[in-house]
Amino acid sequence: MTEKLNKKIAYDVLRVRLGQIIINEEYKKGNFKIPIHLAFGHESIAVAISNIMENDDKLILSHRNMAYNLAREGSLKPILDEYFLKPTGLMKGQFGSMNLINPSKGVIYSSSILGNNFSVAVGTAMAQKIMACDGVTLVLGGDGSVEEGSFHESLLMFKSLKLSGMVIIENNGWSMSTRIQERRCPLDLEKFLMSYDIKYEKLDGNDPYNYIKKLSNLRKISLETHEPVCIEVNVTTLGDWRMKTPEFPDGKFINYHAGPTPSIDIKNYPNIIRENNEDPLFVMKKYFEQSEFDEMSNEIKNEITKEIS
């Protein structure tokens, strides 16, 4: 990877992070009428996916699509305006957040319904095959969506119809306020996919450079073999906080699902949110000197401030 590309990825991650911080600040002020799912901690996988996409690729997202849409669009204002439901929004204020698409950048469908989008992806991949299109369909789900029957049905169809596709499962361990172990038995996706003879890859560690390398290779395999691949990526959705109540004087743990998060403040930018690999900025920062990282952070801050002012 060239130094130029190396920096571009870092800029992308910083842009998605700061974009979300600004959206969160507006959200805290009560300036949105629509429900929004922030995706702090999802920046690396979103930037990696966006960077491996080619012109003919199609991306199909879920309700927590913010990081991907920010990464694909490359600027905040059209998305911010969309959330404000303004005519100047990315989709003229007609889509809001959970269903936000961006057809000119390959994002053709986003569903607010768990597991709904997998089968639309199969249809899209079938259309690409029929039209002899040199593109791959990428579809995003979470660890909650793999519990839906449509996940299994769609994998079966992907495989049976010999379609190229990348099924990306973001495993953040939670479905709203319920941990996996609180709601179901463990599901070993690798073993499950083995039974379908579908290639499985696990991504962990939030290193966008490592992700890009692996995902590029998987994209190539899928395209060449006309087979789907499934990628399970461990993410931590940051933004949790502790709520003090008489019952919990030290604060009750609140997992972040949707809405504004009080635990992330723009005053702390560009500080990392969590001092470990759960925070993509912590991981990315290791590639740069502190001064260089600060300089890049400031550049992104100036760029976005100018854009939205």
Partner 1 sequence: MKYIEFINNLIKKEVSEAENLILFGQNISAGSCLGGLTRDLSVSNNSKIINSTNSENSLCGFGFGLMMNDISSIFFMKQLDFLLLGIDHLVNTFNVIRNTQFKNSVSSFTIFPITVDNGFQGPQSSLNNFADFCSIARIPGYTITNKIDAEKIISSKLISPGFRILSISQRLFKEEIISPDELVYTNDDNSIFQYTQGNDVTVVCFNFSFPNGWDLHNKLKKLGMNVSLFNVNSPTPSGWEKIIADVNISKKLIVIDDSKSENVACNSLIEQIQNELILKKKIVIKRILSEDWVNPVSDIMIIDSENIYNELLD
* Minimum CB–partner distance for residue 235 and partner 1 (Å): 25
Interface with partner 1 (CB under 8 A), residue total 34
113 lines the binding site for partner 1 (CB under 8 A): yes
Cα–Cα–Cα angle for 90, 94, 98, rounded to 5 degrees = 80
297 lines the binding site for partner 1 (CB under 8 A): no
Rounded Cα distance between 35 and 64, Å, is 11
Quick check: 116 and 109 in contact, CB under 8 A? no
* Minimum CB–partner distance for residue 186 and partner 1 (Å): 24
Query: Among 26, 74, 86, 108, which residue interacts with partner 1 (rule: CB under 8 A)?
Result: 108
Query: Among 25, 147, 153, 303, which residue interacts with partner 1 (rule: CB under 8 A)?
Result: 153
DSSP string, 216-255: HHHHHHHHHHT-EEEEEEE------EEE--SS-TT-EEE-
By beta-carbon proximity to partner 1, the closer residue of 123 and 270 is: 123
Q: Binding segment for partner 1 among 42-50, 117-125, 243-251, 297-305 (CB under 8 A)? A: 117-125
54 lines the binding site for partner 1 (CB under 8 A): no
By beta-carbon proximity to partner 1, the closer residue of 21 and 122 is: 122
Query: Among 33, 130, 245, 289, which residue interacts with partner 1 (rule: CB under 8 A)?
Result: 130
35 lines the binding site for partner 1 (CB under 8 A): no
Nearest to 47 by CA among 86, 29, 74: 74
By beta-carbon proximity to partner 1, the closer residue of 121 and 229 is: 121
147 lines the binding site for partner 1 (CB under 8 A): no
* Minimum CB–partner distance for residue 126 and partner 1 (Å): 6
251 lines the binding site for partner 1 (CB under 8 A): no
Rounded Cα distance between 65 and 98, Å, is 7
Cis status of the peptide bond prior to 87, with omega within 30 of 0: no
Rounded Cα distance between 8 and 103, Å, is 23
Quick check: 78 and 304 in contact, CB under 8 A? no
Count Cα atoms within 13 angstroms, Cβ side, for 275: 0
Count Cα atoms within 13 angstroms, Cβ side, for 144: 16
Binding site for partner 1 (CB under 8 A): 58, 94-95, 99, 101, 103, 108-109, 111-113, 116-128, 130-131, 149-150, 153-154, 156-157, 160-161
